[in-house]
Amino acid sequence: MPKYPSRDKTRRPRVVRAKSSGELLQRITSGSALAAIQQSAVAIDALRQRLLAQLPEALRAHVTGVIAKPGELVVFADSAAWASRLKLTLADAPPDLAPEVEATDRVTVRVMPTGEFRR
């Protein structure tokens, strides 16, 4: 059997002061990723609303999400049939969604995954 090194018992355990819930919430929400996520969600929702305003009524109900990437706008539809119709509509008349999406950006249409897998 190997001989394990002895534990260093000379050091004292680190004492940590319990923080109040107010301090924890302030640390979490101030300047953290949560604030950036909230701002991003507001910007994506505004982008989605501008896109929906430019689409025909029949297609509006089938757009499930929009993501603005650098150089690309990704639009999600709820089925493959609606994705192809949406792709044709966006190819005929590209949307004017400035400032997030420039006219030179590529528009990609994808089907939103449902989480159900077929075998």
Residue 110: predicted pLDDT: 93
Under the banding of pLDDT at 50, 70 and 90, the label for residue 40 is confident
The DSSP 8-state label assigned to residue 30 in this structure reads S
Phi and psi torsions of 96, nearest 5°: -105, 100
Phi and psi torsions of 68, nearest 5°: -105, 110
21 or 110, higher pLDDT: 110
Does residue 81 register a pLDDT over 90?
yes
What is the rounded average pLDDT of the residues 40-50? 85
The answer to which of 22-26, 35-39, 40-44 has the lowest mean pLDDT is 35-39
Tokens of 79: 């089925």
Does residue 89 register a pLDDT over 80?
yes
* Domain ranges within the chain, ordered by starting residue: 21-111
Residues 6+ apart with CB under 8 A from 72: 105, 106, 107, 108
Three-class SS state of 113: coil
